[in-house]
Structure 1
Amino acid sequence: MPLRSAPSPPIAILAPTLIIPCSRSMAAEKWLFPLFSVSFVSLLLFLSAISGFTASSAFFDTQPSPFYVRRGAAHPPAFAYFISGGRGDARRMLRLLLAVYHPRNSYLLHLSADAPAWERADLATSVRLSIPAIRAFGNVHVVGKPDAMTYMGSSVLAATLHAAAVLLRMDSVWDWFVTLSSSDYPLVTQDDLIHVFSSVPRDLNFIDHTSDLGWKEYQRVQPIIVDAGIYLSRRNSFFEASEKRPTPDAFKFFTGSPWLILSRRFIEYCILGWDNLPRTLLLYFTNVMLPQEGYFHSVICNSPDYQNTTVNNDLRYMLWDNPPQMEPHLLNKTDYDKMVKSGLPFARKFSMDDPVLDEIDDKILKRWHHRSVPGAWCTGRNRWWIDPCSQWSNVNIVKPGSQAKRFGQLMKRYLDEWKSGLSSCK
């Protein structure tokens, strides 16, 4: 049975005054109260639907107490999500949050400095009011003092390191650090993800990387840039020096995807830096173009303690031009079957509210609008007016779905490649 605490005050819904004609007859008085009650409840349900809240979170929310979250090697893994976006992305970030939410995980949402303060405040309010579990478990936070995130500049890397440090301070018992942008979306449920990662060594890092620089050596590695967002407020541009610098030989330069799933142990190494390598490379990458495509890759592959912990894949489904452009194709409904068959847990990029997201919600995640993805932790009845995740019991169990099998087979292949040592830090 789900554990419950004393009911908290429901979210206030202001309804217009209902005027019901009075009659002197006893028959009319007999039906007055039932009619008023039915009309009032119906109006509440209607208003809650159009305002973005389900009836369970707006009217029947009783704030069940969180079940004790068990962590450690003997229990399912937990993830620390860093979800980032810019001006106008608050609504997309909230949708993504609900699509990847699970009480075992930790979440940090960051709207960059170019977003207005009201949008950031609106995001924080929307997060708190979205589903009861977020209020009960307190595992979602929104950055109040934002960082600049200059495209191609080092401020993006600084914001990522900042997020990792905050998540370590919030809850240092998670197992993997996951970076997502507002244009990403999951292709598996969190029960699927947790189930598959339960069989993965928890010191592994999923990071697409290579030392074969090719054209990037001249266009990305050797140019010297200065990110104005680091030292000037309200600036999101960078300056490029007229001269270039040679490719480093004190360490081996690696490059790859900026989207990462990194182990807590490696994140602690980058943040706490008991070896000086993370700090030394951070100073160098401050003036590198697109440093988020090389910093973690170069740190991990130049560290004897971590270079054998790399699985050479970012676990994202993306479609690229040939030769690749700066950004992948925007995915749509024509890509749905290929996305599903890939077995990958995440995909990008999507445009805002693209119909394919609704298809993913409906067919894979089984997620209703403005609700989280139902999992084994949800014990409420699944009705259109009641969110099944408004009640819960044991958050330490998972129930994998159909995509878990595909993802599990893919993970086995990646782990076999990792064990062979043929693709790590080459």
Structure 2
Amino acid sequence: MGAERKWFFSLLSLTFLSVLLLVLYSISPFSSPRPFPSLVQLGLPYPPAFGYYIFGGKGDKDRIFRLLLAVYHPRNRYVLHLGADATDGERYSLVVALKSVPAIRSFSNVDVIGNPDRFSYMGSSYIASTLHAAAILMKVDPGWDWFIALSALDYPLLTQDGSPWIVLSRSFLEFCIFGWDNLPRTLLMYFNNVMLSEESYFHTVICNSPELKNTTVNSDLRYMIWDNPPKMEPHFLNISDYDQMAQSGAAFARMFKEDDPVLDMVDEKILKRKRNQAAPGAWCTGRKSWWSDTCSQWGDVNVLKPGPQAKKFAETITNLLDDWNSQSNQC
């Protein structure tokens, strides 16, 4: 009788364990089959695609990963750059973090620069790194239309189901990299002796090129608060700045301290993004729950659904274009 009871309890325990594992497996975000990437359609009449360059230095691995998730969309292409002052261990940890995101694994649209550049406020190192990243993006993906450079101190104020307006066009970067005259290269050598050259190099190139002159809009599309007179960097934004920042109609804001509570407010109220997950858009079709990633499954990635922040941003763009149309000389 004792042996039979022992056998019965062993069988019961095994059955319970099997059921428990089955339940856990059924609710695990890794339990569903790996979804196949939706076909990304490029060119008209489809939405534009962006080429993102996200950069930082030592200790910025987590900030870059968070920023990437906040601006991620399968249609875009991303190059991440941890500068030479960061360790190889940080770069490896960043790659491991990227592999934890189902969409990034499937669409393979994020790259990490393995041979990093060294940044300096003096000279043209920032410009060279930006052009290097743009060249990489052009090589790995011929389809993106617009280029955005973000530092680890930036954060978006709208989802990627927003407007296509950004900082530099692909055609302009092609001129800078493959230039059909010597202007970009000549200026790059000159700016090697200029402090904070990234603040004026691209402006100088475009305003001295007859074909590209007066194709600029005087805005960097970022929300910042400066001292008067301005110092080297703007203020660090915090919770007290949220309302004004959210109503600004800007695409991005800076600067933020790492993991500042105001970033959590942006994630919750604007991006609707959970920790370590991509900001959801119309492409995300996964079930909404506390244990799973809405963007671990997807439908048509070429469909966009702009939200309220995109409408504010559209008003900003309309005002900028009205101002642009009223002036004959932008340079």
Taking structure 2 as the reference length, what is the TM-score of the superposition?
Answer: 0.94
For 1:202-221, what aligned pairs fall within 5 Å after superposition? none
Where does residue 298 of structure 2 map in the other structure?
392
How many residues are treated as equivalent by the alignment? 328
- SS of equivalent to 2:78: strand
For 1:180-329, what aligned pairs fall within 5 Å after superposition? 180-192=150-162, 196-197=163-164, 261-329=167-235
Q: Which amino acid aligns with 2:299?
A: S
CA-to-partner distance for each residue in 1:46-92, whole Å, 9 max, x for gaps?
A: xxxxxxxx942xx3253211111111132101110000000000011
For 1:21-420, what aligned pairs fall within 5 Å after superposition? 24=6, 26=8, 29-30=11-12, 32-35=14-17, 37-38=19-20, 55-56=28-29, 59-60=30-31, 62-129=33-100, 131-192=101-162, 196-197=163-164, 261-420=167-326
Return closer, same or farther for 1:23/1:322 CA change in 2, 3 Å cut-off. farther
> Structure 1 CA distance, aligned partners of 2:206 and 2:32?
46
> Structure 2 CA distance, aligned partners of 1:423 and 1:370?
45
> Structure 2 CA distance, aligned partners of 1:330 and 1:161?
28
Where does residue 13 of structure 1 map in the other structure?
none
> Structure 1 CA distance, aligned partners of 2:21 and 2:136?
47
> Structure 1 CA distance, aligned partners of 2:5 and 2:77?
58
Offset, 1:158: 1.1
- SS of equivalent to 2:6: coil
Which consecutive unaligned segments of at least 5 residues does structure 2 have? none
CA-to-partner distance for each residue in 1:375-398, whole Å, 9 max, x for gaps?
A: 111111111112111111211010
CA contact (8 A) 1:61 1:132 kept: no
> Structure 2 CA distance, aligned partners of 1:397 and 1:166?
27
Q: Which amino acid aligns with 2:71?
A: V
CA contact (8 A) 1:176 1:262 kept: yes
> Structure 2 CA distance, aligned partners of 1:165 and 1:306?
20
Q: Which amino acid aligns with 1:410?
A: T
Q: Percent identity?
A: 56
> Structure 1 CA distance, aligned partners of 2:141 and 2:58?
28
Q: Which amino acid aligns with 2:78?
A: Y
Offset, 1:288: 1.0
The 4+ residue runs of structure 1 with deviation greater than 4 A are 39-42
Offset, 1:325: 0.4
- SS of equivalent to 1:362: helix
- SS of equivalent to 1:368: coil
Moved more, 153-162 or 390-399: 153-162
- SS of equivalent to 1:342: coil
> Structure 2 CA distance, aligned partners of 1:102 and 1:415?
26
Return closer, same or farther for 1:61/1:319 CA change in 2, 3 Å cut-off. farther
Offset, 1:40: 8.1
Where does residue 240 of structure 1 map in the other structure?
none
Q: Which amino acid aligns with 2:262?
A: V
> Structure 2 CA distance, aligned partners of 1:322 and 1:69?
46
- SS of equivalent to 2:309: helix
Return closer, same or farther for 1:55/1:184 CA change in 2, 3 Å cut-off. farther
- SS of equivalent to 2:310: helix
Offset, 1:29: 2.9
Offset, 1:309: 1.1
> Structure 2 CA distance, aligned partners of 1:320 and 1:312?
17
Which consecutive unaligned segments of at least 5 residues does structure 1 have? 1-21, 46-53, 201-205, 207-260
Where does residue 8 of structure 1 map in the other structure?
none
CA-to-partner distance for each residue in 1:133-191, whole Å, 9 max, x for gaps?
A: 11111110000000011133321111111111111111122111001001110000000
CA-to-partner distance for each residue in 1:246-292, whole Å, 9 max, x for gaps?
A: xxxxxxxxxxxxxxx10000000000001211111111111111110
Q: Which amino acid aligns with 2:20?
A: V
- SS of equivalent to 1:190: coil
CA contact (8 A) 1:417 1:423 kept: no
